[in-house]
Structure 1
Amino acid sequence: MTRSERWERATDAPLLWLGFAFLFAYATPIIAPEIGSWWRLLLEWVEIATWAAFALDFTVRLSLARGRLKFIRTHLLDLVAVALPLFRPLRALRVLSIVILSARRLSKKLKNRVMTYAAVTAVSVWFIAGLAVTDAERGAPGANIHSVWEGWWWSFITMATVGFGDLYPVTAEGRLVTVGLVATGIALIGTLTAFIAAWFASASREAEEEIKAELDVSEDKLDALKLEIGELKTLVERLLERPVPPSSPSPSPEG
Protein backbone atom coordinates (compact mmCIF):
# COMPACT_ATOMS: atom_id res chain seq x y z
CA MET A 1 0.00 0.00 0.00
CA THR A 2 1.37 3.40 -1.01
CA ARG A 3 1.65 6.41 1.31
CA SER A 4 -1.18 8.13 -0.56
CA GLU A 5 -3.48 5.13 -0.08
CA ARG A 6 -2.61 4.96 3.63
CA TRP A 7 -3.40 8.67 3.99
CA GLU A 8 -6.76 8.32 2.22
CA ARG A 9 -7.71 5.31 4.34
CA ALA A 10 -6.83 7.20 7.54
CA THR A 11 -8.76 10.35 6.55
CA ASP A 12 -11.87 8.81 4.94
CA ALA A 13 -14.00 8.72 8.09
CA PRO A 14 -12.95 12.10 9.58
CA LEU A 15 -13.47 13.96 6.29
CA LEU A 16 -16.83 12.25 5.81
CA TRP A 17 -18.07 13.64 9.13
CA LEU A 18 -16.50 17.02 8.40
CA GLY A 19 -18.49 17.13 5.16
CA PHE A 20 -21.71 16.65 7.11
CA ALA A 21 -20.58 19.33 9.58
CA PHE A 22 -19.92 21.75 6.70
CA LEU A 23 -23.39 21.11 5.27
CA PHE A 24 -24.95 21.65 8.71
CA ALA A 25 -23.06 24.92 9.20
CA TYR A 26 -24.19 26.17 5.78
CA ALA A 27 -27.82 25.07 6.04
CA THR A 28 -28.68 26.10 9.60
CA PRO A 29 -28.69 29.92 9.12
CA ILE A 30 -30.83 29.54 5.98
CA ILE A 31 -33.33 27.12 7.52
CA ALA A 32 -33.48 29.07 10.78
CA PRO A 33 -32.68 32.73 9.95
CA GLU A 34 -33.81 33.81 13.41
CA ILE A 35 -30.74 32.33 15.16
CA GLY A 36 -28.55 34.75 17.04
CA SER A 37 -25.37 36.40 15.83
CA TRP A 38 -23.26 34.28 18.17
CA TRP A 39 -24.49 31.07 16.53
CA ARG A 40 -23.91 32.53 13.08
CA LEU A 41 -20.34 33.35 14.00
CA LEU A 42 -19.78 29.85 15.38
CA LEU A 43 -21.17 28.23 12.21
CA GLU A 44 -18.99 30.45 10.03
CA TRP A 45 -15.95 29.25 11.94
CA VAL A 46 -17.11 25.65 11.47
CA GLU A 47 -17.23 26.29 7.71
CA ILE A 48 -13.76 27.81 7.71
CA ALA A 49 -12.28 24.99 9.82
CA THR A 50 -13.89 22.33 7.61
CA TRP A 51 -12.66 24.02 4.45
CA ALA A 52 -9.15 24.18 5.96
CA ALA A 53 -9.26 20.44 6.69
CA PHE A 54 -10.23 19.64 3.08
CA ALA A 55 -7.56 22.02 1.79
CA LEU A 56 -4.96 20.28 3.98
CA ASP A 57 -6.11 16.88 2.73
CA PHE A 58 -5.85 17.99 -0.91
CA THR A 59 -2.39 19.48 -0.32
CA VAL A 60 -1.09 16.31 1.34
CA ARG A 61 -2.48 14.02 -1.36
CA LEU A 62 -1.04 16.30 -4.04
CA SER A 63 2.39 16.16 -2.41
CA LEU A 64 2.21 12.35 -2.15
CA ALA A 65 1.04 11.85 -5.74
CA ARG A 66 3.58 10.61 -8.26
CA GLY A 67 2.24 12.63 -11.18
CA ARG A 68 0.94 15.90 -9.77
CA LEU A 69 -0.52 17.25 -13.00
CA LYS A 70 -2.36 14.00 -13.57
CA PHE A 71 -3.59 14.09 -9.97
CA ILE A 72 -5.02 17.59 -10.49
CA ARG A 73 -6.69 16.58 -13.77
CA THR A 74 -8.34 13.58 -12.11
CA HIS A 75 -9.32 15.44 -8.92
CA LEU A 76 -10.89 18.63 -10.28
CA LEU A 77 -13.77 18.41 -7.83
CA ASP A 78 -11.32 18.37 -4.93
CA LEU A 79 -9.61 21.40 -6.40
CA VAL A 80 -12.92 23.25 -6.73
CA ALA A 81 -13.76 22.49 -3.11
CA VAL A 82 -10.58 24.11 -1.81
CA ALA A 83 -9.87 26.77 -4.44
CA LEU A 84 -13.14 28.72 -4.43
CA PRO A 85 -13.19 31.72 -2.13
CA LEU A 86 -15.70 31.85 0.71
CA PHE A 87 -17.72 34.80 -0.60
CA ARG A 88 -21.44 34.29 -0.89
CA PRO A 89 -22.13 33.62 -4.60
CA LEU A 90 -19.90 30.56 -4.62
CA ARG A 91 -20.62 29.18 -1.15
CA ALA A 92 -23.28 26.78 -2.47
CA LEU A 93 -20.87 25.41 -5.06
CA ARG A 94 -18.24 24.90 -2.38
CA VAL A 95 -20.75 23.13 -0.12
CA LEU A 96 -21.93 20.93 -3.00
CA SER A 97 -18.40 19.94 -3.97
CA ILE A 98 -17.50 19.04 -0.38
CA VAL A 99 -20.71 17.05 0.08
CA ILE A 100 -20.11 15.15 -3.18
CA LEU A 101 -16.56 14.39 -2.05
CA SER A 102 -17.99 13.05 1.21
CA ALA A 103 -20.49 10.96 -0.77
CA ARG A 104 -17.64 9.52 -2.81
CA ARG A 105 -15.86 8.52 0.39
CA LEU A 106 -19.08 6.98 1.69
CA SER A 107 -19.68 5.04 -1.53
CA LYS A 108 -16.27 3.38 -1.18
CA LYS A 109 -17.57 1.56 1.90
CA LEU A 110 -20.70 0.21 0.19
CA LYS A 111 -21.26 -2.49 -2.40
CA ASN A 112 -23.28 -0.64 -5.04
CA ARG A 113 -20.96 2.36 -5.38
CA VAL A 114 -22.33 3.86 -8.57
CA MET A 115 -25.96 3.86 -7.48
CA THR A 116 -25.11 5.15 -4.00
CA TYR A 117 -22.95 7.93 -5.41
CA ALA A 118 -25.61 8.99 -7.93
CA ALA A 119 -28.41 8.92 -5.34
CA VAL A 120 -26.47 10.92 -2.75
CA THR A 121 -25.41 13.41 -5.42
CA ALA A 122 -28.99 13.90 -6.63
CA VAL A 123 -30.34 14.46 -3.13
CA SER A 124 -27.45 16.79 -2.28
CA VAL A 125 -27.96 18.89 -5.42
CA TRP A 126 -31.69 19.21 -4.70
CA PHE A 127 -31.15 20.06 -1.03
CA ILE A 128 -28.31 22.57 -1.52
CA ALA A 129 -29.89 24.25 -4.55
CA GLY A 130 -33.06 24.83 -2.53
CA LEU A 131 -31.00 26.40 0.24
CA ALA A 132 -28.98 28.52 -2.19
CA VAL A 133 -31.99 29.95 -4.02
CA THR A 134 -33.73 30.68 -0.71
CA ASP A 135 -30.64 32.47 0.56
CA ALA A 136 -30.47 34.51 -2.65
CA GLU A 137 -34.18 35.32 -3.02
CA ARG A 138 -35.30 35.90 0.54
CA GLY A 139 -35.97 39.59 1.02
CA ALA A 140 -35.22 40.55 -2.60
CA PRO A 141 -37.65 43.00 -4.31
CA GLY A 142 -40.29 41.12 -6.31
CA ALA A 143 -39.14 37.69 -5.09
CA ASN A 144 -41.68 34.89 -4.70
CA ILE A 145 -39.39 32.42 -2.91
CA HIS A 146 -39.36 33.39 0.75
CA SER A 147 -39.10 30.17 2.76
CA VAL A 148 -36.82 27.19 2.54
CA TRP A 149 -39.80 24.95 1.80
CA GLU A 150 -40.58 27.02 -1.29
CA GLY A 151 -36.91 26.83 -2.22
CA TRP A 152 -36.89 23.06 -1.97
CA TRP A 153 -40.13 22.79 -4.00
CA TRP A 154 -38.66 25.06 -6.67
CA SER A 155 -35.45 22.98 -6.64
CA PHE A 156 -37.38 19.75 -7.11
CA ILE A 157 -39.50 20.87 -10.06
CA THR A 158 -36.54 22.62 -11.69
CA MET A 159 -34.23 19.66 -11.25
CA ALA A 160 -36.90 17.40 -12.76
CA THR A 161 -37.01 19.87 -15.71
CA VAL A 162 -40.76 20.34 -15.15
CA GLY A 163 -40.84 23.98 -14.05
CA PHE A 164 -44.48 24.81 -13.29
CA GLY A 165 -43.68 28.52 -13.26
CA ASP A 166 -45.34 29.16 -9.90
CA LEU A 167 -41.95 29.85 -8.32
CA TYR A 168 -38.96 31.40 -10.06
CA PRO A 169 -35.87 33.40 -9.05
CA VAL A 170 -35.58 37.09 -9.77
CA THR A 171 -32.03 37.77 -8.58
CA ALA A 172 -28.90 37.19 -10.64
CA GLU A 173 -27.55 34.76 -8.05
CA GLY A 174 -30.83 32.81 -8.03
CA ARG A 175 -30.84 32.56 -11.82
CA LEU A 176 -27.25 31.36 -11.76
CA VAL A 177 -28.33 28.59 -9.39
CA THR A 178 -31.15 27.79 -11.85
CA VAL A 179 -28.75 27.34 -14.75
CA GLY A 180 -26.52 25.02 -12.74
CA LEU A 181 -29.49 23.07 -11.39
CA VAL A 182 -31.09 22.50 -14.81
CA ALA A 183 -27.78 21.34 -16.27
CA THR A 184 -27.20 19.05 -13.31
CA GLY A 185 -30.75 17.69 -13.49
CA ILE A 186 -30.40 16.81 -17.17
CA ALA A 187 -27.05 15.15 -16.50
CA LEU A 188 -28.42 13.14 -13.57
CA ILE A 189 -31.49 12.05 -15.53
CA GLY A 190 -29.24 10.94 -18.39
CA THR A 191 -26.97 9.10 -15.96
CA LEU A 192 -29.92 7.41 -14.28
CA THR A 193 -31.41 6.41 -17.64
CA ALA A 194 -28.08 4.97 -18.77
CA PHE A 195 -27.71 3.11 -15.47
CA ILE A 196 -31.20 1.58 -15.73
CA ALA A 197 -30.58 0.59 -19.36
CA ALA A 198 -27.25 -0.98 -18.42
CA TRP A 199 -28.92 -2.81 -15.53
CA PHE A 200 -31.62 -4.24 -17.81
CA ALA A 201 -28.98 -5.23 -20.37
CA SER A 202 -26.91 -6.91 -17.66
CA ALA A 203 -29.97 -8.71 -16.31
CA SER A 204 -30.88 -9.82 -19.84
CA ARG A 205 -27.35 -11.14 -20.42
CA GLU A 206 -27.44 -13.01 -17.14
CA ALA A 207 -30.82 -14.55 -18.03
CA GLU A 208 -29.51 -15.56 -21.47
CA GLU A 209 -26.44 -17.12 -19.88
CA GLU A 210 -28.60 -19.05 -17.42
CA ILE A 211 -30.89 -20.28 -20.21
CA LYS A 212 -27.86 -21.22 -22.30
CA ALA A 213 -26.36 -23.13 -19.38
CA GLU A 214 -29.65 -24.97 -18.83
CA LEU A 215 -29.84 -25.81 -22.56
CA ASP A 216 -26.26 -27.11 -22.47
CA VAL A 217 -27.14 -29.34 -19.52
CA SER A 218 -30.28 -30.55 -21.33
CA GLU A 219 -28.26 -31.28 -24.48
CA ASP A 220 -25.75 -33.24 -22.44
CA LYS A 221 -28.58 -35.24 -20.90
CA LEU A 222 -30.10 -35.86 -24.35
CA ASP A 223 -26.74 -37.02 -25.69
CA ALA A 224 -26.37 -39.41 -22.74
CA LEU A 225 -29.93 -40.66 -23.29
CA LYS A 226 -29.26 -41.17 -27.01
CA LEU A 227 -26.16 -43.16 -26.14
CA GLU A 228 -28.09 -45.37 -23.71
CA ILE A 229 -30.85 -45.91 -26.28
CA GLY A 230 -28.26 -46.88 -28.90
CA GLU A 231 -26.68 -49.37 -26.51
CA LEU A 232 -30.08 -50.85 -25.69
CA LYS A 233 -30.90 -51.09 -29.41
CA THR A 234 -27.63 -52.90 -30.10
CA LEU A 235 -28.30 -55.27 -27.21
CA VAL A 236 -31.83 -56.02 -28.49
CA GLU A 237 -30.52 -56.69 -32.03
CA ARG A 238 -27.91 -59.10 -30.70
CA LEU A 239 -30.57 -60.92 -28.72
CA LEU A 240 -32.78 -61.24 -31.80
CA GLU A 241 -29.90 -62.50 -33.94
CA ARG A 242 -28.88 -65.20 -31.42
CA PRO A 243 -30.28 -68.69 -32.51
CA VAL A 244 -32.80 -70.21 -30.18
CA PRO A 245 -31.61 -73.66 -28.91
CA PRO A 246 -33.96 -76.62 -29.78
CA SER A 247 -36.06 -77.73 -26.90
CA SER A 248 -35.34 -81.33 -25.68
CA PRO A 249 -38.30 -83.82 -25.71
CA SER A 250 -39.82 -84.33 -22.35
CA PRO A 251 -39.46 -87.93 -21.04
CA SER A 252 -42.45 -90.26 -21.30
CA PRO A 253 -44.07 -91.13 -18.01
CA GLU A 254 -44.16 -94.85 -19.03
CA GLY A 255 -40.50 -94.92 -20.02
Structure 2
Amino acid sequence: MDDDSRLARWQQRTEIPLGVASLVFLASYAIRVLGHGHLTDAVLDLCLALTFTAWALFGVDYAVRWLLSGQRWGFVRRHPLDTVVLFLPLLRPLQIVKTYDTVQRRHGRPWLTVQARVIVYAGLSTVLLGFTGALSVYHQERGAPGATMRTFGDALWWTCSTLATVGYGDFTPVTVRGRLIAVGIMAVGLGLLGAVTGTFASWLLQAFSREEDEGPPGS
Protein backbone atom coordinates (compact mmCIF):
# COMPACT_ATOMS: atom_id res chain seq x y z
CA MET A 1 0.00 0.00 0.00
CA ASP A 2 1.51 3.35 -1.03
CA ASP A 3 1.77 6.42 1.17
CA ASP A 4 -1.05 8.27 -0.62
CA SER A 5 -3.60 5.51 0.00
CA ARG A 6 -2.48 5.16 3.63
CA LEU A 7 -2.79 8.91 4.11
CA ALA A 8 -6.27 8.94 2.51
CA ARG A 9 -7.43 6.09 4.76
CA TRP A 10 -6.05 7.85 7.85
CA GLN A 11 -7.84 11.08 6.95
CA GLN A 12 -11.09 9.26 6.26
CA ARG A 13 -10.96 7.47 9.62
CA THR A 14 -10.03 10.53 11.68
CA GLU A 15 -12.26 13.24 10.21
CA ILE A 16 -15.27 12.56 12.44
CA PRO A 17 -13.23 11.86 15.63
CA LEU A 18 -11.35 15.12 15.07
CA GLY A 19 -14.66 16.92 14.58
CA VAL A 20 -15.81 15.57 17.96
CA ALA A 21 -12.46 16.60 19.49
CA SER A 22 -13.01 20.10 18.12
CA LEU A 23 -16.39 20.27 19.86
CA VAL A 24 -14.80 19.05 23.10
CA PHE A 25 -12.05 21.63 22.74
CA LEU A 26 -14.52 24.47 22.17
CA ALA A 27 -16.86 23.37 24.98
CA SER A 28 -14.10 22.89 27.56
CA TYR A 29 -12.47 26.20 26.68
CA ALA A 30 -15.83 28.02 26.86
CA ILE A 31 -16.59 26.51 30.28
CA ARG A 32 -13.16 27.52 31.57
CA VAL A 33 -13.53 31.10 30.37
CA LEU A 34 -17.18 31.68 31.25
CA GLY A 35 -17.11 29.62 34.43
CA HIS A 36 -14.12 31.41 35.93
CA GLY A 37 -15.06 32.49 39.44
CA HIS A 38 -18.27 30.45 39.40
CA LEU A 39 -17.08 26.84 39.16
CA THR A 40 -14.85 24.83 41.44
CA ASP A 41 -11.16 24.40 40.73
CA ALA A 42 -11.71 20.69 40.09
CA VAL A 43 -14.15 21.41 37.26
CA LEU A 44 -11.87 24.06 35.77
CA ASP A 45 -8.89 21.69 35.96
CA LEU A 46 -10.93 18.99 34.21
CA CYS A 47 -11.81 21.41 31.42
CA LEU A 48 -8.16 22.39 31.12
CA ALA A 49 -7.18 18.72 30.83
CA LEU A 50 -9.81 18.15 28.12
CA THR A 51 -8.58 21.23 26.25
CA PHE A 52 -4.98 20.04 26.20
CA THR A 53 -6.03 16.46 25.37
CA ALA A 54 -7.93 17.66 22.31
CA TRP A 55 -4.98 19.84 21.33
CA ALA A 56 -2.68 16.81 21.68
CA LEU A 57 -4.95 14.80 19.37
CA PHE A 58 -4.65 17.53 16.74
CA GLY A 59 -0.87 17.39 17.11
CA VAL A 60 -0.81 13.60 16.73
CA ASP A 61 -3.01 13.80 13.64
CA TYR A 62 -0.73 16.42 12.06
CA ALA A 63 2.38 14.37 12.85
CA VAL A 64 0.91 11.16 11.40
CA ARG A 65 -0.22 12.89 8.20
CA TRP A 66 3.19 14.53 7.92
CA LEU A 67 4.93 11.15 8.17
CA LEU A 68 2.51 9.36 5.84
CA SER A 69 2.84 12.06 3.18
CA GLY A 70 6.55 11.29 2.81
CA GLN A 71 7.09 14.88 1.71
CA ARG A 72 8.33 16.49 4.91
CA TRP A 73 8.60 20.23 4.08
CA GLY A 74 6.42 19.75 1.01
CA PHE A 75 3.55 18.73 3.30
CA VAL A 76 3.99 21.89 5.37
CA ARG A 77 3.93 24.07 2.25
CA ARG A 78 0.84 22.32 0.89
CA HIS A 79 -1.08 22.56 4.19
CA PRO A 80 -0.31 26.02 5.59
CA LEU A 81 -3.72 26.32 7.29
CA ASP A 82 -3.25 23.03 9.16
CA THR A 83 0.16 24.25 10.32
CA VAL A 84 -1.26 27.55 11.54
CA VAL A 85 -4.16 25.82 13.30
CA LEU A 86 -1.71 23.53 15.10
CA PHE A 87 -0.18 26.56 16.82
CA LEU A 88 -3.44 28.54 17.01
CA PRO A 89 -5.87 25.89 18.29
CA LEU A 90 -8.72 28.37 18.64
CA LEU A 91 -9.16 27.98 14.88
CA ARG A 92 -9.79 24.27 15.35
CA PRO A 93 -13.60 24.61 15.49
CA LEU A 94 -13.39 24.98 11.71
CA GLN A 95 -12.86 21.21 11.73
CA ILE A 96 -16.56 20.99 12.61
CA VAL A 97 -17.45 22.56 9.27
CA LYS A 98 -15.10 20.18 7.48
CA THR A 99 -16.65 17.21 9.27
CA TYR A 100 -20.15 18.37 8.31
CA ASP A 101 -19.09 18.55 4.66
CA THR A 102 -17.61 15.06 4.87
CA VAL A 103 -20.81 13.60 6.32
CA GLN A 104 -22.85 15.26 3.57
CA ARG A 105 -20.62 13.74 0.90
CA ARG A 106 -20.83 10.26 2.39
CA HIS A 107 -24.62 10.40 2.09
CA GLY A 108 -24.39 11.07 -1.62
CA ARG A 109 -24.16 14.16 -3.72
CA PRO A 110 -24.60 17.37 -1.68
CA TRP A 111 -28.07 18.83 -2.16
CA LEU A 112 -26.75 22.40 -2.18
CA THR A 113 -25.08 24.02 -5.15
CA VAL A 114 -21.43 24.96 -4.93
CA GLN A 115 -22.27 28.63 -4.41
CA ALA A 116 -24.82 27.86 -1.71
CA ARG A 117 -22.37 25.56 0.05
CA VAL A 118 -19.71 28.26 0.10
CA ILE A 119 -22.16 30.73 1.61
CA VAL A 120 -23.44 28.22 4.20
CA TYR A 121 -19.95 27.06 5.20
CA ALA A 122 -18.68 30.64 5.36
CA GLY A 123 -21.62 31.45 7.61
CA LEU A 124 -20.91 28.50 9.89
CA SER A 125 -17.24 29.43 9.99
CA THR A 126 -18.12 33.00 10.90
CA VAL A 127 -20.32 31.87 13.79
CA LEU A 128 -17.69 29.47 15.14
CA LEU A 129 -14.79 31.88 14.76
CA GLY A 130 -16.87 34.73 16.18
CA PHE A 131 -17.69 32.70 19.28
CA THR A 132 -14.12 31.49 19.83
CA GLY A 133 -12.77 34.97 19.08
CA ALA A 134 -15.09 36.50 21.67
CA LEU A 135 -14.04 33.86 24.21
CA SER A 136 -10.33 34.39 23.60
CA VAL A 137 -10.42 38.20 23.66
CA TYR A 138 -12.58 38.16 26.80
CA HIS A 139 -10.14 35.73 28.38
CA GLN A 140 -7.31 38.20 27.76
CA GLU A 141 -9.15 41.44 28.52
CA ARG A 142 -11.14 40.70 31.67
CA GLY A 143 -9.50 42.20 34.70
CA ALA A 144 -6.86 44.06 32.66
CA PRO A 145 -6.16 47.67 33.73
CA GLY A 146 -8.21 50.05 31.60
CA ALA A 147 -10.15 47.24 29.92
CA THR A 148 -13.45 48.22 28.31
CA MET A 149 -14.71 44.66 27.70
CA ARG A 150 -15.80 43.71 31.20
CA THR A 151 -18.37 41.06 30.26
CA PHE A 152 -18.60 38.31 27.68
CA GLY A 153 -21.51 40.18 26.12
CA ASP A 154 -19.19 43.15 25.51
CA ALA A 155 -16.64 40.85 23.88
CA LEU A 156 -19.30 39.19 21.73
CA TRP A 157 -20.62 42.55 20.53
CA TRP A 158 -17.09 43.73 19.75
CA THR A 159 -16.35 40.53 17.82
CA CYS A 160 -19.53 40.82 15.74
CA SER A 161 -18.80 44.43 14.80
CA THR A 162 -15.17 43.55 13.99
CA LEU A 163 -16.08 40.56 11.81
CA ALA A 164 -18.59 42.72 9.98
CA THR A 165 -15.77 45.27 9.40
CA VAL A 166 -17.91 47.95 11.08
CA GLY A 167 -15.81 48.68 14.15
CA TYR A 168 -17.90 51.08 16.22
CA GLY A 169 -15.03 51.73 18.62
CA ASP A 170 -17.17 51.49 21.76
CA PHE A 171 -15.06 48.54 22.91
CA THR A 172 -11.38 48.07 22.14
CA PRO A 173 -8.79 45.58 23.39
CA VAL A 174 -6.04 47.05 25.55
CA THR A 175 -3.76 44.04 26.08
CA VAL A 176 -1.12 42.92 23.59
CA ARG A 177 -2.64 39.46 23.19
CA GLY A 178 -6.10 40.94 22.84
CA ARG A 179 -4.91 43.19 20.03
CA LEU A 180 -3.19 40.28 18.29
CA ILE A 181 -6.45 38.36 18.44
CA ALA A 182 -8.19 41.44 17.04
CA VAL A 183 -5.83 41.49 14.04
CA GLY A 184 -6.66 37.85 13.34
CA ILE A 185 -10.40 38.47 13.60
CA MET A 186 -10.12 41.43 11.22
CA ALA A 187 -8.26 39.31 8.66
CA VAL A 188 -10.78 36.48 8.96
CA GLY A 189 -13.70 38.89 8.68
CA LEU A 190 -12.35 40.42 5.49
CA GLY A 191 -11.63 36.99 3.99
CA LEU A 192 -15.04 35.53 4.77
CA LEU A 193 -16.86 38.66 3.66
CA GLY A 194 -14.96 38.61 0.37
CA ALA A 195 -15.70 34.92 -0.14
CA VAL A 196 -19.42 35.32 0.45
CA THR A 197 -19.69 38.49 -1.64
CA GLY A 198 -17.71 37.02 -4.54
CA THR A 199 -19.66 33.76 -4.50
CA PHE A 200 -23.01 35.55 -4.38
CA ALA A 201 -21.98 37.80 -7.27
CA SER A 202 -20.86 34.74 -9.26
CA TRP A 203 -24.20 33.05 -8.60
CA LEU A 204 -26.10 36.12 -9.81
CA LEU A 205 -24.02 36.30 -12.99
CA GLN A 206 -24.68 32.63 -13.72
CA ALA A 207 -28.42 33.08 -13.10
CA PHE A 208 -28.62 36.10 -15.41
CA SER A 209 -26.53 34.31 -18.02
CA ARG A 210 -28.92 31.34 -18.03
CA GLU A 211 -31.89 33.68 -18.43
CA GLU A 212 -30.28 35.34 -21.43
CA ASP A 213 -29.44 31.97 -23.02
CA GLU A 214 -32.98 30.71 -22.56
CA GLY A 215 -34.47 33.91 -24.02
CA PRO A 216 -38.00 35.20 -23.46
CA PRO A 217 -40.86 32.69 -23.40
CA GLY A 218 -42.14 31.71 -26.84
CA SER A 219 -39.05 32.98 -28.70
Identify the TM-score tier after normalising by the shorter chain: 0.7 to 0.9
Identity %: 34
In the other structure, the counterpart of 1:40 is 44
Q: Is the partner of 2:143 in helix, strand or coil? A: coil
Q: Cα 1:54–1:208, aligned 2, differ >3 Å: closer, same or farther?
A: same
**Aligned structure 1 segments of 4 or more residues deviating by more than 4 angstroms:** none
Q: Is the 8 A contact 2:33 2:139 kept in 1?
A: yes
Name structure 1 gaps, 5 residues minimum: 85-92, 219-255
Larger radius of gyration: 1
CA drift of 1:39 comes to 1.0
Q: Is the 8 A contact 1:26 1:95 kept in 2?
A: no
Counterpart mapping for 1:158-237 below 5 A: 158-211=162-215
In the other structure, the counterpart of 2:66 is 62
Q: Is the 8 A contact 2:148 2:172 kept in 1?
A: yes
Q: Aligned partners of 2:56, 2:22: CA distance in 1, in Å?
A: 12
Q: Cα 1:2–1:171, aligned 2, differ >3 Å: closer, same or farther?
A: same
Q: Is the 8 A contact 1:30 1:148 kept in 2?
A: no
Q: Aligned partners of 1:44, 1:6: CA distance in 2, in Å?
A: 31
Query: Please, which moves more after superposition, 176-185 or 153-162?
Result: 176-185
Q: 2:149 aligns with which of 120, 132, 145?
A: 145
Q: Cα 1:66–1:203, aligned 2, differ >3 Å: closer, same or farther?
A: farther
Q: Aligned partners of 2:19, 2:138: CA distance in 1, in Å?
A: 26
Q: Aligned partners of 1:66, 1:206: CA distance in 2, in Å?
A: 46
TM-score in terms of structure 1 length: 0.73
Matched AA of 2:33 = I
Q: 2:24 aligns with which of 18, 21, 25?
A: 21
The higher-RCO structure (CA 8 Å, 6+ apart) is: 2
CA drift of 1:15 comes to 0.8
Q: Is the 8 A contact 1:158 1:182 kept in 2?
A: yes
Matched AA of 2:34 = I
In the other structure, the counterpart of 1:94 is 89
Matched AA of 1:73 = R
Matched AA of 2:214 = E
In the other structure, the counterpart of 2:103 is 109
CA drift of 1:199 comes to 1.0
TM-score in terms of structure 2 length: 0.84
Q: Aligned partners of 2:212, 2:8: CA distance in 1, in Å?
A: 40
Aligned pair count reads 205
- CA RMSD across the alignment: 2.1
CA drift of 1:51 comes to 1.3
Name structure 2 gaps, 5 residues minimum: 105-109
CA drift of 1:66 comes to 4.7
Q: Aligned partners of 2:215, 2:67: CA distance in 1, in Å?
A: 52
CA drift of 1:109 comes to 3.0
Q: Aligned partners of 1:146, 1:65: CA distance in 2, in Å?
A: 46
Query: Please, which moves more after superposition, 108-117 or 168-177?
Result: 108-117
Q: Aligned partners of 1:184, 1:80: CA distance in 2, in Å?
A: 13
In the other structure, the counterpart of 1:136 is 140
CA drift of 1:54 comes to 1.3
Q: Aligned partners of 1:128, 1:28: CA distance in 2, in Å?
A: 12
In the other structure, the counterpart of 1:244 is none
Q: 1:121 aligns with which of 116, 120, 125?
A: 125
